[in-house]
A and B are shown apart, each in its own frame.
Chain A
Amino acid sequence: TQLLEQSPQFLSIQEGENLTVYCNSSSVFSSLQWYRQEPGEGPVLLVTVVTGGEVKKLKRLTFQFGDARKDSSLHITAAQTGDTGLYLCAGRQGAQKLVFGQGTRLTINP
Chain B
Amino acid sequence: NAGVTQTPKFRVLKTGQSMTLLCAQDMNHEYMYWYRQDPGMGLRLIHYSVGEGTTAKGEVPDGYNVSRLKKQNFLLGLESAAPSQTSVYFCASSYGGISNQPQHFGDGTRLSIL
Contact = CB atoms under 8 A, between A and B. Distances in A.
Interface of A: 2, 4, 6, 9, 30-31, 33, 40-45, 48, 50, 88, 90, 92, 94-103
Contact of B108 (A4, A42, A90, A103): A42
Given A40-B107, A97-B48, 11 more contacts: A2-B42, A6-B42, A31-B99, A40-B108, A50-B100, A88-B42, A92-B100, A95-B97, A96-B48, A98-B103, A102-B41
Nearest to B59: A99
Contacts of B98: 95
Contacts of A48: 100, 102
Interface in B81-114: 90, 92, 96-100, 102-103, 105-108
B22 to A, nearest CB: 15
Give the secondary structure class of A's interface: loop
Interface residues of B, number: 25
Nearest to B103: A98
B42 A30 contact: no
Given A41-B108, A42-B105, A44-B105, A97 B100 contact: no
Nearest to A49: B100
B100 A43 contact: no
Task: Indicate the member of B40, B44, B99 with the most A CB atoms within 10 Å.
Answer: B99
B76 interface: no
A88 B37 CA distance: 12
Given A40-B107, A45-B102, A96 B43 contact: no
A99 B41 CA distance: 11
Contacts of A90: 43
Closest A-B pairs by Cβ, 8 of them: A42-B105, A45-B102, A102-B42, A100-B43, A100-B42, A95-B99, A48-B100, A41-B107
